[in-house]
Amino acid sequence: MTLENIKLDIDYVRSQFPAFKDPLSKDWSFFENAGGSYVPKNVIDKLTEFMTSTKVQPYAEYPMSKIAGENMDKATHLFAKMINAKSNEILIGGSTSINLYVLSNALKHNINKGDEVIVTNQDHEANISPWRRLKDYGAKIIEWKFDSNDHELKIADLKKLINSKTKILAVTHCSNIVGSVNNLKEICDLAHNNDIIVIGDGVSYAPHGFPNVKELGVDFYTFSLYKTYGPHLALLYGKEEILKNLPNQNHEFLKGQYPYTINPGGPNHEELVSLIGIYEYFENLYSHHFDNKNISILDKIDKINDLISLHEEYIANPILDYLDKREDLNLIGKKRIINKNRAPTISFYSNKKTSKEISHTLHKFKIATRNDNFYAWRCLKYLGIDTNDGVVRLSMTHYNNIEDSEKLIKALENI
C-alpha cells in the first residue's frame, strides 16, 4: 500500500455518521460492526428525500415517478461501478441469505446425480446450507475444512478435494469469526481450471474495502449492504455469461431479462435509492483526502480501501496484541493484521468465564458487543466451542478510533 503518508482523518469520518452524536449511542464504543454498521448522513438524506418527494411507483412519465426510477437505476449503476461489475450483473435483494437461497435454487438445474459441491466449515451458514441442499438434487456434498491449528483454509487441502465431478465451490472471502482474508483469486483460478463455479461470500470482507469482482475472477459474489454503511439490503453479483443462462424464477414475461430473472419480485425502492448515499459518502471521503479528482470511481475506491485498511490495522493490532498476551483468553485466527491479511473482526473465548459473562461486563463499560456463534456454528463446533455461549466478537470498522481500542483493552484488563 502506498499512500504518500496520507492518514484517514478519523474526526472527519465520524462527523459523517449521526450515530456518534445521537444521545443513545454517542457514549458507546461500537464493536458490533460485523453484525451491522452505522450509516452516514448521506444515506439517511437519500432515504428521506425518496420518501418525501418520490415515494410513488417508479418508471412512469410524471416527474415524481420518473425521478424515482432514475434514482433506482443510478444506485445500481454506481454500485456496479464501485465493484467493477456491469449494471446487469447486479441484483439487490433483501439479505445475503435470501440471495444465496435464490441463487442455489437457480443453479440446482446445473446439477446431475453424482456431481460434487464443495462447502467449507469456516463460512457463515448463509453460504453453506443453500449449497448443502443440492444433495436433494443428487449432489454429493464435500466439506473443505480449515486447519484447526491456525484456523486457516488451506488451498493445498482444496486441491485434494477437487475432481472432474466438482461443479460448485462456495467459500467465504473472509470468515465472520476467524477474520482471515482467503485468497479468493487463487481459489477462483484453481476452480476455473477445473470448470467449477465459485460463489464468494464477501459479507465480512466488503465493509473493509469494496471488492473488485473482475480482478477476483469470482462467478458470484455477495455482501450485505447493511454492513457496508447502508440499509438492510444485500447485493449479489453474477457474471453475465452465467446469469443469462440461468432459469427465469420471476414472472413468465420477464424471461431473458436478467438479472431480474433470478429473484421473484423487485428490490425495496427507497432503500435501493439510499445506496446512492453510500457512494456519495465514499466520494466525499476520497475528496477530503486526495487531490486528483480525474480518476475513475474504481480507482478512488482502491485508494480509499488502502486508507481504510491502514487505519483498521492501526486500531485493531493493539487489541490483537493484547488478546494474544492474555493466557486465559483464546484468540481465533491470525495474531496481527499485516497488509490486508485479516479483517478487524476479532473473536475470542475465555478459559475461565463464559462469553456471555464477558460481553455483559463489557456492556457496563459502554462497549457494544455480544457473544454468539454468529451463525458460523460449524466453525465453532469444529473448534470445540459451545455454540450457545459462542465467542465474544469485537468487530471494528474504519469509523472506530484508537480511543475505542484503548477503552476496550482497559475494560478487558478489569474483567
Asked, as a colleague might, if the bond just before 58 is cis with ω within 30 of 0, I would say no
Residue from 97, 355, 371, 397 in contact with ligand PLP (CB under 6 A): 97
CB 78 within 8 A of CB 275: yes
The answer to the question of residue 88 lying near ligand PLP (CB under 6 A) is no
Residue number with CB closer to ligand PLP (54 or 96): 96
* Sole binder of ligand PLP in the list 134, 162, 203, 396 (CB under 6 A): 203
Three-class secondary structure assignment of 194-213: CCCEEEEECCCCHHHCCCCH
Binding test (CB under 6 A) with ligand PLP, winner from 16, 33, 71, 224 = 224
Q: Which stretch binds ligand PLP (CB under 6 A): 9-17, 79-87, 89-97, 106-114?
A: 89-97
Q: Which of residues 227-266 bind ligand PLP (CB under 6 A)?
A: 234
**Please, which residue, 8 or 380, has the CB nearer to ligand PLP?**
380
> Is 176 an interacting residue with respect to ligand PLP (CB under 6 A)?
yes
Q: Which residue has the cell 446487469?
A: 88
Task: State the minimum distance, in angstroms, from the CB of residue 181 to ligand PLP.
Answer: 12
Grid cell at residue 355: 462469553
Under rule CB under 6 A, residue 393 binds ligand PLP: no
- # chain residues binding ligand PLP, by CB under 6 A: 14
Closest CA to 73 of 282, 280, 275, 234: 275
Residues 32-51 that bind ligand PLP (CB under 6 A): 34
Q: Which is nearer to ligand PLP, 108 or 124 (CB)?
A: 124
84 binds ligand PLP (CB under 6 A): no
Is 124 near ligand PLP (CB under 6 A)?
A: yes
Q: What phi, psi does 303 have (nearest 5°)?
A: -70, -40
**φ, ψ for residue 222, nearest 5 deg:** -140, 145
Residue from 78, 83, 103, 126 in contact with ligand PLP (CB under 6 A): 126
Q: Which stretch binds ligand PLP (CB under 6 A): 1-9, 92-100, 140-148, 391-399?
A: 92-100
Query: What is the Cα–Cα distance from 108 to 254, expressed in whole angstroms?
Result: 20
Among the listed residues 298, 283, 333, 293, the one whose alpha carbon sits nearest the alpha carbon of residue 211 = 298
Nearer of residues 170 and 246 to ligand PLP, judged by Cβ: 170
Where in 302-361 is the site for ligand PLP (CB under 6 A)? none
- How far, in Å, CA of 277 to CA of 272, rounded? 10
Please pick, from the candidates 16, 37, 42, 204, the single residue that binds ligand PLP as defined by CB under 6 A.
204
Amino acid identity, position 151? H
Which of 54, 96, 355, 395 lies at the binding interface for ligand PLP (CB under 6 A)? 96
CA 277, 279, 285, 288 torsion-angle sign: negative
DSSP string, 275-317: HHHHHHHHHHHHHHH-----S-HHHHHHHHHHHHHHHHHHHHH
Residues near ligand PLP (CB under 6 A):
34, 95-97, 124, 126-127, 172, 176, 201, 203-204, 224, 234
